[in-house]
Amino acid sequence: MTATVARLRRYGVRPAGAALVLWAAATVTFLALHLVPGDPVLVLLGGGSGANPTPETIAAIRHAYGLDQPLYAQYLHHIGRLVTGDLGVSTSLKEPVAGVITQQLPATIELTALALLFAWLLAGAVVLLSTGRGALGRALGSGLETVAAGLPHFWLGVVLLYVFAFRLGWFPVAGGTGIAGLVLPALTLAVPLAGYLGQVTRGALLTALEQPFVTSARLRGMSSAAVRARRALRHALLPPLTLSGWAVGALFSSEVVVESVFARQGIGRALLNAVLARDLPLVTGIVLLIAAVYVLVDLAVDLLHAVVDPRIRTPREL
Amino acid sequence: MTTVLTAPAQAEPLVRRIRPGLTAAGIFLALVVPAALAPGLLTTYAPDAIRPADFFQPPSTAHWFGTDQNGRDVYTRLVHGAGQSLLIGLGATALSLTLGITLGLTAALGGRRADFAVGRVLEVLFAFPGLLLALLFIAVFGTGAVTAAVAVGIGEAAGYARLIRAQATTVVRSGYVEAARGLGHPPLRVVRRTVLPNVLRPLAALATLGIGQSVVWASSLSFLGLGAQPPAAEWGAMLADGRTFLQYAWWTSFFPGLFIVLTTLSTTVIGRRLQAWLDARSS
Amino acid sequence: MKPPSRRRAVTSLAALALTVLATGCGAGAVATAPLGDRPAPGGTLTYATDREPTCLDPHVSGDMPQAYVAQQFLDSLVALDAHGRIRPWLATSWDVSKDAATYTFHLRRDVRFTDGTRFDAAAVKANLDHMVDPATQSGTAGGYLAPYKNTEVIGAFTARVHLDRPYSPFLNMLAQAFLGMESPKAIERGKEANCAAPVGTGPFIVQKWNRQSDVELVRNPHYNSPPPYARHTGPAHLAKVVWRFIPEPATRFAAVQSGQADVIDALPPEDQASAERDSRLKAVVRDRPGNPTNLALNASRAPFDDRRVRAAFLYSADVVNGLKSVFFGQYRRAGGPLSYVTPDYAGGYENAWPHDPKKADALLDKAGWGHRDGAGYRIRKGRRLSADVLLKSDISPNQLALMEQIQATAKDVGFDLELLGLDAATVNTRYLAGDYDLRDGYWNTNTPDVLHTVFGSEYAVHHGIHSNASYAKDPAIDRLLRTAQATTDQDSQRRLYGKAQQLISAGAYQLTLYPQTTRLAAHRASVRGAALEPALSLPYLYDAWVNAR
């Protein structure tokens, strides 16, 4: 296979696959709407103050959503609406789903970005500090990672909130405003994630340290720290980069818990409230959004791989 | 690996011999499993016995972990809750393993088209990270302990399916199956005798690791009010209940949280060890 | 002036006195901090509350969180003063026909809605029509206006309201924020837009609703229509109010402790004692008039269609001890159908249903539920004595704990109570269909006519919004309440409502728990002058100002 064909495959087939996945995800959300027990019209009308509709209202909604048509036509209608960016109207908030998402997304993106940064810093620090310090250091480091990775977000969040906001008063108790309100929720997300990242990075780092080039570099007199930092870590960057795509998705779903613990605005909390209210249009809208973000980030990571991976760029360097 | 490059540490043999993590994990699970099976043996109180007069008693000899807002004994509720919490975790893991094995084996044994189809299905499932699929499931079918267990099981299935698919494909492509077929064994027997054992052995370790994850996810759902409903003594629900009174009575939320964390850590440590042991045996 | 003990002072102001949160000069003010701080214009007040409304227009649906925030941006036709008397507000005067079925309102001529629309008789008509329009889905305002026929625009500033029968509580109802006046132009935008940003003539304007976070209110610079209980005229002192939603009780309390919020409501009972001890905070607790928080027993279907079974359930519950524990002794028991601060409240029914399991057992034996199954639940003809308790999943932790206690004590006498923590939509669907045995509820209002709203058979609708959640249908009760509506004579009202309370209590329609209460905590260093209005004890921020922190 020539390099051009390989590139074509990478830049052409992957996006096509991603589109396929998105289409399938949209289908799953369509099925979800129709799997709900009961009349989908009543589901779409939702409850709270909005229920108790007149027969005219029911007929109007049935027609507006095309629910009086055969299933395949409804399906095409559903996909058609999604393609034009129409995600429907939230039954609990009585607002267009797209509007709700636009309003809630910035807070979630802020949080996700900071959490990912914190996670990298924490994971990097633990791995670098504990590697090369003998078995005890390694055991401590990996023990720390195991504990961190096993901490449930709701528990960690409640503890951090209690200690650093309620007791010590270092951070605001109810988030939302400014960077100070962002620190505790971001840490809550970052610590378990750092545990996972650390475990993976450690493996890659250790493998890298066992490579012959490290030996030769040391023989040439490079300090061990320099070896670790310059060559090995870069070599070890690939698996974590792949993980980042996964991490963004995982963060989005963990935010359901964290945003509600810290009473923060965001799509995670909107999703939770939508699930609690069984607001199917909003649930499917947000789920679809997260799936789309996840697929696109994954695609981006895949393409970036080619840039970072030295074997792909200059195979002969090793 | 050469000993010159990784400085040999004095502590290594000691750590190896004692394995403090593994021992602690073993002891913890040895206490939790009987609690789940026969809670009556470990406590004399009833989990739902309400004594308004005894509300929010701090930990004492009468109430080891204190009492909650209804005067119920927190230790007793934790012991009785072990059954439900672990059952949800086990049930979810069992479901996701069943789904995972079915999908994985279909892909590995069903030929190119099946492999392609399963591959696409898995890609779609992977587009719903973490709790997302579980949340979608709950939005459709409503809240409750059983729904939560099924939701978590479905949410975790894709991960297992991918691993089993990879493992099974390796086994199928290795010489074993060819050899078995060559000897004239019927295909089902080949699957049962050759493929399954090779696939399932590493799975034991994964499943152990998975139980911890399932317990955390299921208790997350309960914490959010989507799983077990009151007055069930489920750990996540207890933590959610107690969180309101954190300033006033830390023990009502501290201990349920601690038990969830310890359960996860224990299953992780044991799962890892199992994995290492199986790896060592197979090589 | 000697500062009285805070909590006692507050509860002793029980009747409809105006309570002021911090320093002030009005009657009934609780003076604490040194006087002399002059109202400072400008600044932002952060108010934190527990529940986020689904719609900011209080005409729609009509739950308390809507009234709380609407009080800040809507004015009403009339107001109640501290002594419970009706006073002019947007209406300067009114004439009531002899049969008390026609009300003619003479309106202020100088008031404009904040979108520039003139406030006039046409606006009054548009508002009342909007409240009774079935499309508005108005449970509270629409329910209060059940006798409404139409409004006649007599002149630009004279509106005549026709009711289909004598209805003496009408003016009291009009004084509530649920019936606040909104711009007709804004109403015409449709439900969605009006829910997001209703437009009133009030001291603040809804600027932006950041869902799941807050509502931003800004000062109405042209405000000229303060209610009679206000302590200044002209625009509000505050430039801005951030109306935040912090559902988690402990977090909300921590927010006011740290000064991150200036005022919070729904002060959690577990934190009330520490709020009172904390010198930085000022706690204000005032019980509200109306039907207390209760569990309504559905008398339209088995098992609670039998009065003996209802009575047995009421005897099984140990509400007093429950309140002592899960509400930290901060809530008083309400035993009768009216909260003790409601006009014409009769005190004889507070202990009508004490905790008495023996009586409960005897009643159930007599009602044919003599046998118990292996789990201790009573059975009859192979059916268990079970009851579904319809609860919303966002119920407060304390209330949920109380429900768990009621469940446990009911189990002792053989009831199998299932606590259903359901989503709002399912709760609503089942409530509309009458598909429940027990349902938690309350009804805040300022007249004893609440008995009609909650126990009148005309509100026992089987498929639709029904304020009579227990489906009480007693012609004797109906007659008493209709007669009370038709008279304005206070003595006969007292007699009629007293008799009605007796029949209702004896009917065992509700397990009443505790009076509805406004519970605020304010940060002393940062806020002054926040008050409770007299009609529903809602917080009122028009007179408030913030100090530089």
Same domain, yes or no: C176 and C277: yes
Q: Among residues A54, A83, A112, which one ends one of the domains?
A: A83
Q: Is C248 on the interface with B (CB under 8 A)?
A: yes
Give the separation between CA A292 and CA A101, rounded to whole angstroms: 13
Partnered with residue A109 across adjacent β-strands are none
Question: Chain A closest CA to C204's CA: distance in Å?
Answer: 23
Q: What is the mean pLDDT of residues B205-230?
A: 85
Question: Chain C closest CA to B224's CA: distance in Å?
Answer: 10
Partnered with residue C518 across adjacent β-strands are C286
For residues C135 and C127, is the Cβ–Cβ distance under 8 A?
no
Quick check: is A5 in a domain? no
- H/E element, B153: helix B145-173
Question: Chain B closest CA to A316's CA: distance in Å?
Answer: 24
Res. A51 pLDDT band, cuts 50 70 90: very low
Same domain, yes or no: A189 and A117: yes
Give the separation between CA C543 and CA C414, rounded to whole angstroms: 54
Same domain, yes or no: C176 and C272: yes
pLDDT of residue C6: 34
Same domain, yes or no: A62 and A111: no
- pLDDT higher than 70, residue A46: no
Q: How many domains does chain C divide into?
A: 2
Q: Is C475 on the interface with A (CB under 8 A)?
A: no
Stretch 198-237 of chain A: residues touching chain B, C-beta under 8 Å = 209-210, 214-215, 218
Res. B241 pLDDT band, cuts 50 70 90: confident
Question: Chain C closest CA to A149's CA: distance in Å?
Answer: 26
Q: What is the mean pLDDT of each run of 10 residues along chain C (549 residues)?
A: 35 36 35 52 92 91 91 96 90 92 96 97 97 85 90 96 93 94 96 92 96 93 95 94 90 88 92 88 92 96 95 96 89 95 93 96 95 93 94 85 92 93 78 91 91 92 82 96 91 95 97 95 86 90 81
User: Which residues are CB-neighbours of A145 under 8 A, at least 6 positions away?
Assistant: A123, A126, A194, A195, A196, A198, A199, A202
- pLDDT higher than 70, residue A177: no
pLDDT of residue A157: 92
Quick check: is A302 in a domain? yes
Give the separation between CA C430 and CA C536, rounded to whole angstroms: 29
- Distance (Å) of CA B255 to CA B88, B245, B252, B261: 19, 13, 6, 10
pLDDT of residue C342: 92
Quick check: is A23 in a domain? yes
Write down the residue that tokens 């505050």 correspond to: C238
- pLDDT higher than 90, residue A311: no
- pLDDT higher than 60, residue A179: yes
For residues C10 and C30, is the Cβ–Cβ distance under 8 A?
yes
Q: Which domain holds residue A109?
A: 98-308
Q: Which amino acid is residue A24, in one-letter code?
A: A
Res. B51 pLDDT band, cuts 50 70 90: confident
Of B48, B55, B247, the CB nearest to C408: B48
More confidently predicted of C149 and A263: C149
A153/B220 Cβ within 8 A:
yes
Quick check: is C328 in a domain? yes
Same domain, yes or no: A297 and A259: yes
Quick check: is A246 in a domain? yes
Q: Which amino acid is residue B276, in one-letter code?
A: A
C419/B229 Cβ within 8 A:
yes
Q: Which residue of A has its CA nearest to B135?
A: A275
Quick check: is A1 in a domain? no
pLDDT of residue C298: 97
C397/B69 Cβ within 8 A:
yes
Same domain, yes or no: C128 and C241: yes
Write down the residue that tokens 């009342």 correspond to: C128
* CATH fold of the domain at B67-282: MetI-like fold (1.10.3720)
For residues C294 and C467, is the Cβ–Cβ distance under 8 A?
no
Q: Which of A41, A49, A108 to mutate to test the interface with C (most CBs of C within 10 A)?
A: A49
Quick check: is A315 in a domain? no
A93/C251 Cβ within 8 A:
no
Q: Is C60 on the interface with B (CB under 8 A)?
A: no
Stretch 415-454 of chain C: residues touching chain B, C-beta under 8 Å = 419-421, 423, 426
* Total length of chain A: 318
Of C54, C61, C261, the CB nearest to A92: C54
Same domain, yes or no: A139 and A67: no
CATH of the domain at C183: 3.40.190.10
Q: How many domains does chain A divide into?
A: 2
Same domain, yes or no: A248 and A152: yes
Same domain, yes or no: C269 and C338: no
- Indicate the pairing of strand C438-444 with strand C386-392: parallel
Quick check: is C6 in a domain? no
CATH of the domain at C472: 3.10.105.10
Quick check: is A88 in a domain? no
Same domain, yes or no: C250 and C336: no
CATH of the domain at A132: 1.10.3720.10
pLDDT of residue C68: 95
For residues B130 and A248, is the Cβ–Cβ distance under 8 A?
no
- Distance (Å) of CA C546 to CA A89, C158, C240, C501: 39, 39, 10, 44
Q: Which domain holds residue C305?
A: 290-515
- Indicate the pairing of strand C517-523 with strand C263-264: antiparallel
C409/B50 Cβ within 8 A:
yes
Instruction: Write down the ipTM of this complex.
Output: 0.82
Give the separation between CA B47 and CA B68, rounded to whole angstroms: 11
Give the separation between CA C345 and CA C478, rounded to whole angstroms: 18
B231/C404 Cβ within 8 A:
yes
A-chain residues near C244 (CB < 8 A):
174
